[in-house]
Amino acid sequence: MGLELLAGRDFNSDRQDGLNLSVIINESMAQDFEWTISDAIGKELLGYNNEGLNPKVVGVVKDFNFRSLKEEVLPQMFHTFEDYAPYKFFIRIRPGDPSLAIDNLQKTWSNLVPAYPLQYSFLDDDVNRFYRAEGRFSKIIGWAGGMSIFLSCLGLLGLVGLASLNRTKEIGIRKVLGASIPNIIGLLSKDFLKLILIALVIASPVTWYLMNSWLKDFAYRIDIQWWVFVFAGFIAIGVALITVGYQSIKAAMANPIDSLRDE
């Protein structure tokens, strides 16, 4: 399974000891017994059963997540006891189309135990089931966020159009007095950029609090970096400038004679 052996050895079918009481444990189990990784090799698990048969640790593997990332890694032990009847087999197959491997497994299984149907699942699908709620939540947030951005852009487009219409005479006078197109665009854009910056200042701490509260549900988590909000702010400003720029350029390129004559 690609587990990293930190100390000791792996299971060896050539080294049988009757009941084969060799076990491999993970780091968390060694820590629970207050063993160091190297000292754990050769230790016996006393009181394991009522028959006085104590398994002996032959290896320690690096901790790995076998449950949801919302939980810490728990103590884990691997064994190959002869009186243990397995109910599940893990099989590694080559990357790519799994159909050929499944067909071969189906034939082999039918030859060995024809009375029982083969039931299988893929490990990555099993792991993904831990995060179905997060997947649904992500889709909901994605769609809601996309609709909010779209509606905000429509509203911003309307506000810029209204502002340019109300300032038609001012724009015409400024152009007559020598204002360039970038000057006119900056004139119409700066007021809306101020509102966007105020919105970012309000939204950033709220977003940080909500996301940090969600991340607290995970035992192993990332920290939200400041550059994420800076990056999101630049994207928001960019979208706003594109939206505002369309109407601003349209107003800036209009013939000032027409606007002044109408006034």
Give the pairing of strands 56-61 and 22-26. Answer: parallel
- Could you tell me if residue 102 is inside a domain? no
Question: pLDDT tens, 85-132?
Answer: 777 888 888 888 888 999 999 999 999 888 888 889 998 888 888 888
Q: ∠ at Cα 252 (246, 255), nearest 5°?
A: 125
Give residue 134's pLDDT: 84
What range defines the domain where residue 13 resides?
Answer: 1-85
Does residue 149 sit in the same domain as residue 77?
no
Does residue 69 sit in the same domain as residue 139?
no
**Number of independent structural domains in the chain:** 2
Give residue 242's pLDDT: 82
Give residue 259's pLDDT: 59
Which segments of the chain have a pLDDT < 50? Answer: none
Give residue 18's pLDDT: 54
Query: Which helix or strand (DSSP H or E) is residue 24 part of?
Result: strand 22-26
Does residue 150 sit in the same domain as residue 209?
yes
Question: pLDDT tens, 201-222?
Answer: 998 999 999 888 888 888 888 8
Query: Which of 33, 34, 35, 41 has the alpha carbon at shortest distance from 7?
Result: 41
Give residue 125's pLDDT: 87
pTM above 0.75, yes or no: no
- Could you tell me if residue 19 is inside a domain? yes
- The whole-angstrom separation of Cα 24 and Cα 251 is 75
Does residue 146 sit in the same domain as residue 227?
yes
Does residue 241 sit in the same domain as residue 177?
yes
